[in-house]
Amino acid sequence: MNQRQIAFAQALVHDFVGLGEDSALQQHLALQAERLGLRMRTRIRLRSFEAVCRMVEAGVGVAVVPAVAAERHVGAGRLRLLKLSDAWADRQLLICARSFEQLSMPALRLVDALCAAQTPKR
């Protein structure tokens, strides 16, 4: 199987490993499934992407996680990554502050690091 992408609807035939129901990501995924007239079969809910990836490695189910979280676990060779082909899956995240000029030096460094991490890798 040389597939690099999958539609969320195709993934919904599998059992999922996910975060808690109060997680913004899980709520977003449940909404997308509902829009398709489908439901996610969540087998287990965990507190971190690290734990989610470990359960996927153990064969418990599939998961939707940020690319950065999944890429940390690919090295062992027991995870296979597929990009979601749905348009909604390309999320744009924003950094908000009342005034960037008034942020402390550690906060400014964090903003710089987050912005640098968003530079596309090709």
Q: Does 117 map to a domain?
A: no
Domain containing residue 21: 5-89
Asked if residue 33 lies in contact with residue 4, where contact means CB atoms within 8 angstroms, the answer is: no
Q: Write the CATH number for 22.
A: 3.40.190.10
Q: Express each pLDDT in 70-119 by its tens digit.
A: 888 887 677 889 999 999 998 777 889 999 999 999 999 999 988 887 65
DSSP 3-state assignment of 115? helix
Q: Does 25 map to a domain?
A: yes
Q: Does 113 map to a domain?
A: no
Q: Express each pLDDT in 10-41 by its tens digit.
A: 999 999 999 999 999 999 999 999 999 999 99
Total domains in the fold of the chain = 1
Length of the chain: 122
